[in-house]
Amino acid sequence: TRRHHAVASQERNDCPAPTDISILGNVILNCDRRNSEPSTPRGILLQGCKRFSIAGNVINKTVSDGICLIPNTVGCSHGVVTGNTIYQAGITVDSTAGVPGQGIRVQDGFDITISGNHAFESREGGLRVHGSTDRIVITGNDFQKNGKSGMEIQNTRDFVVSDNLSV
């Protein structure tokens, strides 16, 4: 039982953004407890990172998102999220309303490819792309039996969505 993110790389206001990150072939189980009310353990969190690859990971049961790409001073950019399998994001005893529960979530990112991923039984959705995102490619993913939606795409410019299964 984890009470923190299993893997995290975060930009800090006083340091340059983390770059050249590879998170490959990990098995992440049970990020399913909160330390305190505001904590939201995720499987993989990148915050304000550049040039990254998240590939071939298996993530099961997180309080919040399975894979989360969010901004600090800037959004995540120039990355690939591919071949990951996420089960039950946001489906734990400590998951509550108002805490994101997406298989994969991208906020304010750009130049990101999301391909060949599988997200099953997430509390909210398989994939959510929102904020001010640009140049996103979403292809060949499988989003099934998720709570609210298979894919939710908002406020995104210059994007491609093709060959996905969303049930």
| Tens digits of pLDDT across the chain (167 residues) | 445 677 888 777 777 788 999 999 999 998 877 766 667 888 999 999 999 999 999 999 998 999 999 998 889 999 999 999 999 998 887 777 678 899 999 999 999 999 999 999 999 999 999 999 999 999 999 999 999 999 999 998 999 999 999 98
Q: How far apart are the first and last CA of the chain?
A: 30
Q: Which residue matches tokens 């991923």?
A: 117
Q: Two tokens at 49? A: 């990172």
The DSSP symbol for 112 reads E
pLDDT at site 14? 73
pTM of the full structure: 0.93
pLDDT at site 19? 93
pLDDT at site 38? 66
Q: What is the dihedral of CA 111, 117, 119, 124, to 10 degrees?
A: 10
Q: Two tokens at 102? A: 């997406």
